[in-house]
Amino acid sequence: MSMNFTSTASNLLPTLKRCTWLPQYHTSLLPQIYAEVQRHRETCNQIYTSGQVDNTLSDSCKPILQLHLQSILRIKRILLSYMNYRINRITDLVYESSVIPENFRSLLSGEERTFNECYNDLISEYSDSIGVSFLEYSGGIRGGDGSTLPHFVEIQVEQERGGVVDNGVEVGLEGGSRHWVRREAVEGMVRRGEVEQRDVEV
């Protein structure tokens, strides 16, 4: 076995920081990591079995046994960090835009897609139970960095866009006009580039 322990698992974390959102879920790398953990476990069992002297593990075997045990624990920490980072990014995007775009969904594992669907269902059920949008009730929609985005935004309309309903009131979006509106009312239009969100916030 290579003595470069945990190097395969260590490759998981740098890829997270190189992407705007998330890298493709490592369906090929994770089985290799699980196999390495299994090899460490088997080696630990062999050391423990062969290193017994009078039903006590000999001192000479303890350092190498500790090395393998610590390798397993380090891999565990890496995997937990990898999974936790991905789950946090998924939930952040739920708060940021409510729906994960299809091109982002393709980056998720089947389990992550199931988590996202269940998470959305829980938010919807809770919003229904309290009679108000949970995102609004909890203090606004969060950005990808965890910051709270404004409830109201100023938009610039370059071309005629018809209108939007903002809190029960129809707002006409004539070309060249500006409006203060609830962010939720125009979020989709801003993302599609149909209107421009100004930097000024309240």
pLDDT digits (tens, 9 = 90+) for 151-174: 567 788 888 888 887 666 678 888
Q: Is the pLDDT of residue 3 over 70?
A: no
CATH 2.60.40 fits 152-201, yes or no: no
CA atoms within 13 A on the CB side of 20: 2
**The model's pTM:** 0.61
> What is the average per-residue pLDDT within 10-34?
85
Tell me which residue of 28, 35, 42 sits closest to 6, measured CA to CA.
35
Q: Where are the domains of the chain?
A: 7-130, 152-201
Looking at domain 7-130, its CATH class is mainly alpha
Tell me which residue of 155, 142, 143, 148 sits closest to 182, measured CA to CA.
155
Dig out the tokens for 182 from the structure.
């609830």
Most confident of 99-103, 106-110, 119-123, 190-194: 106-110
pLDDT band at residue 200 using 50, 70 and 90 as cut-offs: very low
166 SS3 class: strand
Please tell me the distance from the alpha carbon of residue 7 to that of residue 78, in angstroms, as a whole number: 11
Please tell me the distance from the alpha carbon of residue 96 to that of residue 147, in angstroms, as a whole number: 10
Same topology between domain 7-130 and domain 152-201: no
Burial letters for 156-173: b for 16+ Cβ neighbours within 10 Å, e otherwise? ebeeebeebebeeeebeb
Greatest alpha-carbon span in the chain: 89
Tell me which residue of 44, 26, 47 sits closest to 36, measured CA to CA.
44
Q: Of all residues in the chain, what percent carry a pLDDT higher than 90? A: 22
Burial letters for 117-147: b for 16+ Cβ neighbours within 10 Å, e otherwise? eeeeeebeeeeeeeeeebbeeeebbbeeeee
Please tell me the distance from the alpha carbon of residue 169 to that of residue 84, in angstroms, as a whole number: 41
Is 156 within 8 Å of 172 (Cβ atoms)? no
Q: What is the pLDDT of residues 38-65, one digit of tens each?
A: 999 999 999 888 877 667 888 888 898 9
